[in-house]
Amino acid sequence: MVFKRDNNKNKSLYYQIYIVVELFILFLLYYYGIHWFLLLLLTPTILLDTWSNMRCARRQKKFIREIEITDEGIKCVLANKSSQSIPIEKCLFSIREKKFEKEKTEIEIRSKRLLKSKLIGRLHIKHWSQIPEIKNELLKHSITQIKYRPEGYWSKYGTLTADVVITTTAFTIAAVADVSGDLGTASGLRADGFMPIHHIKDNLKIDEDK
């Protein structure tokens, strides 16, 4: 069965603006000569997010215009008029589907590889009103469904990055406290400052399970 995109709008400009803003912020940080420790923490974070946004912007130029789902697999026609065919044994899909956030519903089409899968494209409900039908067709043809992976660096690794920054800062201050003889503060920082967001999320999950 063939499904066609409702419109050709994309978020290319959105990501390009983000890239310009992030690089401008990085320029200002060096221009005004903020403390070297903050530069050490912020520079790789901003550069990683800029790189992620550049990848997302490139993908916007190759969005899926048309998708055909058959017993042989999936065929995607891209915005640049090229097409990609995925054999049924390598087809993967995931879906972001929340009861109270229907406007954010999105299907991700992927191709299975040896170690990891390759993203072919995303079908967002803003551009594909037939997403429920597409989902049913994918399930009907026994396409393997996997866990949904959000787009962008912060969506994927934001919590981990924040934890690493907090942990690094806490351990650095603890080392200074050790040198100054404040062993109680040093011990407290090492205990409470190690991956705090991860522990909070785990505790919230345990409470929800109860």
For residue 100, pLDDT beyond 90: no
pLDDT beyond 90 at 68: yes
Q: Convert the pLDDT of each residue in 105-156 to its tens digit.
A: 899 999 998 888 888 988 998 899 999 999 999 999 999 998 887 765 555 5
Q: How many CB atoms lie within 10 A of CB 174?
A: 20
What residues does 77 pair with on adjacent strands?
66, 83
Of the pLDDT bands very low, low, confident and very high (cuts 50, 70, 90), residue 201 is low
Domain residue ranges in the chain? 7-60, 64-145, 153-209
State mean pLDDT over 169-178: 73
| Average pLDDT across the chain, whole number | 81
- In 97-182, where does DSSP find H-type helix? 131-140, 153-180
The reported pLDDT for the residue numbered 207 is 45
% of the chain at pLDDT higher than 70: 82
- Residue of 78 and 188 predicted with greater confidence: 78
CB atoms within 10 A of CB 187: 13
pLDDT band for position 209 (50/70/90)? very low
Q: Contact, 65 vs 83, CB < 8 A? A: no
Note the CATH architecture for domain 64-145. Answer: Roll (2.30)
Strand partners, 4: 66
| Range with top average pLDDT, 7-11, 18-22, 159-163, 167-171 | 18-22
Q: Which of the four pLDDT bands, split at 50, 70 and 90, describes residue 67?
A: very high
pLDDT of residue 204: 44
